[in-house]
Amino acid sequence: MDSEDEMNYDEEEEDSQEEDSNDEDFVDIAMEPEPSTASDSRETEDFQYEVLTADKIVHVMVECIKEVNAVVQIPATITRILLNHFRWDKEKLMERYYDGDQDSLFSEAHVVSPYRKDPRQKRSTRGSTSASTSESMCEICCLVIPHTDMAGLECGHKFCFQCWTDYLTSKIINEGMGQTISCAAYGCDILVDDVTVMDLIKDAKVRLKYQHLITNSFVECNRLLRWCPAPDCGHVIKVKHYDVKPVRCTCGHTFCFACGENWHDPVKCIWLKRWIKKCDDDSETSNWIAANTKECPKCHVIIEKDGGCNHMVCKNQNCKADFCWVCLGPWEPHGSSWYNCNKFDEDEAKKARDSQEKSRCQLQRYLFYCNRYMNHMQSLKFENKLYQAVKLKMEEMQQHSMSWIEVQFLKVAVDVLCSCRQTLMYTYVFAFYLSKNNQSIIFEDNQKDLEHATEQLSEYLERDITSELLVDIKQKVQDKYRYCESRRKVLLDHVHEGYERDTWDYQDGL
Amino acid sequence: MANIAEARIRREFKEVVKSEEVAKCHIKVELVNDNYTELRGEIIGPPDTAYDGGKFILEIKIPDTYPFNPPKVKFATKIWHPNISSVTGAICLDILKDQWAAAMTLRTVLLSLQALLATAEPNDPQDAVVAKQYKENQAIFLQTARHWTNVYAGGPHREQVLEQKVEQVKNMGFEEHRARVALSSANWDPERATESLLNS
């Protein structure tokens, strides 16, 4: 490896004919893939995927380049840049490559066409052009450097090794650029390929960062790859075909391949995304608004009451409405002698309250779904504590003449409980965006049923487990979790069926 | 890195000093301190522009990462130009930001700035007030720029009407520079200028 690294640049240029055959080696050297440690093939139903380590990803990347190179015979470094330009879509690259103006393709991707034989670039740095001088000034450090210590890309701009190293280091470390670093000359947009970077950079830290950047851009660009979103997990999921499916990483995290969020069946990715944004944006604010304010019955500006008197004068200068805080009706009929509102039945006050109600309705609706969603999320967090409690219980039961296999039902019960909670949590997101129709009523019934059963199961596991006879519990818990599981399946199947038949109506503009 | 920066600046310094633009007195650089981190640049306003004959001083700071990052440059001389802040002297120029390339030098920077004085980019403004005037009232803009060049950069072309107006507002008890800024921003309408001065 090292002997290759030290290979001189000039020789590389002179050997460009042979380079093609060496390309595969170059890529391998450049990316330094370590022997792969783990790659699991997994399947759920008919959805196939693999969990890859970061090193394995490099192999995938190299494979991809080889595959293209087998067809278009150009240096691997150029293939890599072209592939990156097409977001690693092999078909698209091939199509453009054979189907159009290759020169414009190369210039679009910011590489010099390997077919262009411009004498300017072929000038040997060994001093054949100007026999008198074997050194020239590096335009970055302005020092006079022997040609043997200078390097450049196909564009012909040459700088000394030290300046290249500093330039690349600054781009990689400070600006986080990987595949998109261009030549250091002013106005030159030719990209620096990975082999050149690896040849010039010797610092292990910078090399590693560069590899990370390149791998990351490969994964981010590729539709069939996704980083596991769990903290500090460096694995990548590779799927056979893109689909909205749950995937489980070797670190144990299960998530939606399409959007990277926790697996969120039955709600779809786009609605979940909107929901999360909505929650992040305004859940706290709307909670506070709901608890502490009312709206002016005339101009609907939101008002916080900051004094004791019920006679409100709207501070909106264009409105200045006088109204009663209690009934929201106009203040006038209240007269000046009362501090108190007994005008409950009056029409006008009622109208004002109605309109207020309407404008609050949306907020109430959101809070309704939000609270339930949050509630299940919170409970789900607590259920993780339950695993601990259940483990103790299982040990205790084993001492009471039950076998290991006989007590496993408890763990299964907690598993079911968690998956039900997760499903329920997302049903509220689904329901929030749903318009009422016959199917939605069935859905709500299913939801109610599952929720009821889930809460019962939760109660069994949390309380009854300590009090009742073990044998009784076993029967009760097993029945309940089977019921929960079947209700969960019914609910999900119903939603999926609705997706297929297009029976769900959505409320827009929420 | 700092070593490269210093070595580079030493070289560039010589390059600028030796260059033919210096011989024609168009650009100049001087050291401010001994370690080459701060420099003072000077450019002469290009002929046939509102800045003709003015001498504009530039503050140049060289970062440690030079030449891989651009030098920090701003005008120390007050100037009326769409791409230069009339308040701080900050410059909006692509090569001082993302279009910087390691092979560029102080000389190219100074020449680019000189070119910027000749061709403003009002659609990518640093100073919105100036840019608006440039686009909507080119004649007044040219007068104003010439007046500022005369007052702050020692340019030879006096704008006597404008001087009188500044004097007039100054006599109302306002500081001269503030009066000039207010008048310039108000397209030399004394009433609007005093109003804005009173309200600020």
The one-letter code for the residue type at A255 is F
Of A142, A166, A188, the CB nearest to B1: A166
Asked if residue B178 and residue B147 are part of one domain, the reply reads yes
Judge whether B166 lies within some domain.
yes
| CA atoms A85, A86, A91, A97: torsion sign | negative
Phi, psi of A304 (to 5 degrees): -105, 130
Amino acid at B70: P
Q: Which pLDDT score is estimated for A178?
A: 84
- Judge if B133 and B114 occupy the same domain: no
Look at residue A466 in the predicted model and tell me its pLDDT: 63
In-domain check, residue B179: yes
Decide if A185 and B67 are in contact by the 8 Å CB cutoff: no
Domains by residue range for chain A, with CATH? 2-31+72-221 (3.30.40.10), 37-67+223-261 (no CATH), 271-292+366-501 (1.20.120.1750)
Structural domain for B174, as ranges:
128-199
The pLDDT, as a whole number, for residue A141 is: 78
Band (pLDDT 50/70/90 cuts) for residue A19 is very low
Nearest residue in chain A measured CA to CA from B106: A140
Say whether B31 sits in a helix, a strand or coil: strand
Residue B65 belongs to some domain of the structure: yes
Which carries the bigger pLDDT value, residue A21 or residue A462?
A462
Triad B121, B109, A112: Cα angle to 5°: 90
Task: Specify whether B69 is located in the same domain as B37.
Answer: yes
Beta bridge partners of B38: B61
Average pLDDT over residues A295-316: 75
- φ/ψ (deg, to 5) at A10: -60, -45
**Residue at B145 is within a domain:** yes
Q: What percent of chain A has pLDDT over 70?
A: 78
Q: What is the pLDDT of residue B182?
A: 92
Q: How confident is the model at residue A135 (pLDDT cuts 50, 70, 90)?
A: confident
What is the pLDDT averaged over residues B150-173? Answer: 90
Residues of B with CB under 8 A from a CB of A: 1, 4, 7-8, 11-12, 15, 65, 67-69, 95, 101-104, 108
Q: Which residue has the higher pLDDT, A455 or A313?
A: A455
What is the rounded average pLDDT of the residues A97-111?
Answer: 84
* Chain A residues with CB-CB distance to B102 below 8 A: 140, 159, 163, 167, 184
> Mean pLDDT for chain B?
87
Cis-peptide into A114, omega within 30 deg: no
Report DSSP state, residue B27: E
Query: A266 preceded by cis ω (within 30°)?
Result: yes
Determine the average pLDDT of the residues in A140-163.
85
Exposed/middle/buried for residue B199 (C-beta within 10 Å: 0-12, 13-18, 19+):
exposed
Number of domains present in the structure of chain B: 2
In terms of domains, do B87 and B137 share one? no
Q: What distance in Å separates residue A502's CA from the closest CA in chain B?
A: 50
> What percent of chain B clears pLDDT 70, i.e. is strictly above it?
96
Judgement on whether residues B51 and B111 belong to the same structural domain of the protein: yes
Tell me which of A152 and A13 has the higher pLDDT.
A152
Q: How far apart are CA A496 and CA A180, in angstroms?
A: 43
> Looking at the domain assignment, is residue B123 inside a domain?
no
Percent of chain A with pLDDT over 90: 13
Task: Verify that B64 and B88 share a domain, yes or no.
Answer: yes
Claim to verify: residue B15 and residue B105 sit in the same structural domain: yes
- A39 close to A52: Cβ distance less than 8 angstroms: yes
Do B82 and B163 reside in the same domain of the chain? no
ipTM score above 0.95: no
pLDDT value for B148:
94
Instruction: Specify the DSSP element, H or E, that contains B41.
Output: strand B38-44
Task: Give the residue from A426, A476, A469 showing the smallest Cα distance to A450.
Answer: A426
Inside any domain, residue B101? yes
Q: Say if the Cβ atoms of B101 and A184 lie within 8 Å.
A: yes
**Which of A139, A157, A167 has the CB atom closest to B68's CB atom?**
A167
pLDDT on residue B57: 94
Cα–Cα distances in angstroms (integers) from residue A463 to residues A200, A388, A460, in the given order: 66, 14, 6
Residues A371, A377: Cα–Cα separation, whole Å: 10
pLDDT band at A425 (very low <50, low <70, confident <90, very high): very high
pLDDT tens digit sequence for A64-99: 888 888 888 888 888 888 888 888 888 888 888 888
Positive/negative CA dihedral, A387, A390, A392, A397: negative
Task: Give the model's pLDDT for residue A334.
Answer: 67
Residues B139 and B192 in one domain: yes
Average pLDDT over residues A325-335: 73
b/e sequence B145-154, b meaning 16+ C-beta within 10 Å: bbbbbbbbbe
Write the CATH number for B13: 3.10.110.10
Verify whether the Cβ–Cβ distance B7 to A142 is below 8 Å.
yes
Chain A residues with at least one Cβ partner in B under 8 Å: 139-143, 157, 159, 162-163, 166-167, 170-171, 174, 184-188
Last residue of a domain, one of B100, B118, B136: B118
pLDDT digits (tens, 9 = 90+) for A258-284: 888 889 988 988 888 888 888 877 666
pLDDT of residue A205: 92
> Residues A184-208: pLDDT tens digits?
888 888 899 888 899 999 899 999 9
- Residues B96 and B166 grouped into a single domain: no
Above pLDDT 90, what percent of chain B?
38
Let me know whether B114 and B132 are in one domain. no
The pLDDT value recorded for residue A129 is 41
Hey, are the CB atoms on A157 and B15 less than 8 Å from each other? no
Q: Do B175 and B168 contact (CB within 8 A), yes or no? A: no
Q: Which of B67, B90, B118 is the last residue of a domain?
A: B118
Nearest CA in chain B to A171: B68
Domain end marker among B118, B140, B170? B118
- Same domain? For B107 and B189 the reply is no
Rounded to an integer, the average pLDDT of A247-251 is 90
Confirm if B46 and B117 have CB atoms less than 8 A apart: yes
Give residue A23's pLDDT band: very low, low, confident or very high (50, 70, 90): very low
Whether residue B140 lies inside any domain: the answer is yes
Residue A158 distance to chain B (closest CA, Å): 10
Which residues lie across from B55 on neighbouring strands? B44
Q: A39 vs B23, which has greater pLDDT?
A: B23
Give the DSSP H/E element, type plus range, for residue A42: strand A39-44
Angstrom distances, CA of residue B147 to CA of A90, B53, B180: 62, 12, 10
- pLDDT tens readout for residues A428-476: 999 988 888 888 999 999 999 999 999 888 888 877 666 656 677 788 8
Centre a 10 Å sphere on the Cβ of residue A270 and count the other Cβ atoms it contains: 11
A284/B72 Cα distance (integer angstroms): 43
Per-residue pLDDT band at A3 (split at 50, 70, 90): very low
* For range B96-117, the mean pLDDT: 87
Which candidate in A155, A183, A221, A309 is catalytic?
A309
CA A327 to CA A329: how far, in whole Å? 5
pLDDT given for residue A88 in this prediction: 84
Give residue B148's region: left, alpha or beta (phi > 0; psi -120 to 50): alpha
CB spacing of A140 vs B1 below 8 angstroms: no
Nearest to A186 among B7, B69, B103 (CB): B103
Please state, rounded to an integer, the average pLDDT across all residues of chain A.
Answer: 78
Query: Alpha-carbon distance A432 to A80, whole Å?
Result: 45
Judge whether residue A326 has pLDDT over 90.
no
DSSP three-state, residue A118: coil
pLDDT of residue A305: 74
Question: Among candidates B41, B118, B33, B111, which has minimal Cα distance to B72?
Answer: B41
Examine residue B173 and state whether it is found in any structural domain, yes or no: yes
Q: Do A140 and B7 touch (CB under 8 A)?
A: no
